[in-house]
Amino acid sequence: SMFFIFIYIHIGRGLYYSSYHFISVWISGVSIIFLLMGTAFIGYVLPWGQMSFWGATVITNLLSAIPYVGEMLTMWIWGGFSINNATLTRFFSLHFILPFILFMFIIFHIFFLHETGSSNPTGIPLNIDKIPFHPYFTFKDLFGYMIFFMFFLFMIFLTPFIFFDPDNFI
C-alpha cells in the first residue's frame, strides 16, 4: 500500500543520511516497522477469506521453525491444532491493541528525534538562517495531511474494494 511505500522511503532516507548513528531513534524506528508489519499481517487475515486463511497458515507456521518452543508457540497463537475461530478472535484483539502500542512507539520516536536532533546531510552545523517550526512547517504539514485525508476518504467511501484480493470473496 501507499503507506508502506512512504515508510520505505522514510527508511531509505534515514539510511542515506546515516541516521542510524542515533541509536535510540533508530531502534524505535525499527520497532515501529516491525509493529506495522505485524499489524498489517493481522489485518490481512481478518477478512477470513481463502487468501487470508492460507496466508495466516503459512506465516504462523514459520514460527514452528523456532527450536524447542516453535511448535508450542504456533499452537498457542492458533488456539488449537489448526487455525480456527480462536485464532481469528486473537487476531481481532491484537489488531485493536497494536495501534495503541504503535502510537506509543511513534511518540517515543519523535521524542528521541527531538532529543538528538535530525541528521544533517551536509554535516555542517549551521545555526543561521533557520525559521521556526511553528507556524511555517505546522501549516505546511497540516495542508499535506488534509490533501492526503481527502484522497484517503475518497478511496474509502467511493472505491472500498479496489485493493482487496479477489480470492477473498470466494
What's 54's domain CATH number?
Answer: 1.20.810.10
The string of pLDDT tens digits covering residues 60-73 is 999 999 999 999 99
- Number of domains the chain is built from: 2
State percent of the chain over pLDDT 70. Answer: 93
Same domain, 28 and 61: yes
pLDDT at 129 over 90: no
- Give the per-residue pLDDT at 116: 82
Measured CA to CA in angstroms, residue 109 lies from 10, 106, 119, 129 at distances of 13, 5, 14, 27
- Give the per-residue pLDDT at 36: 97
- Give the per-residue pLDDT at 115: 84
Same domain, 33 and 110: yes
Same domain, 13 and 54: yes
Same domain, 102 and 165: no
Same domain, 99 and 157: no
pLDDT at 107 over 90: yes
Same domain, 115 and 153: no
- Give the per-residue pLDDT at 127: 67
Which three cell numbers mark 167? 480470492
- Non-local CB neighbours of 115 within 8 Å, separated by 6+ positions: 24
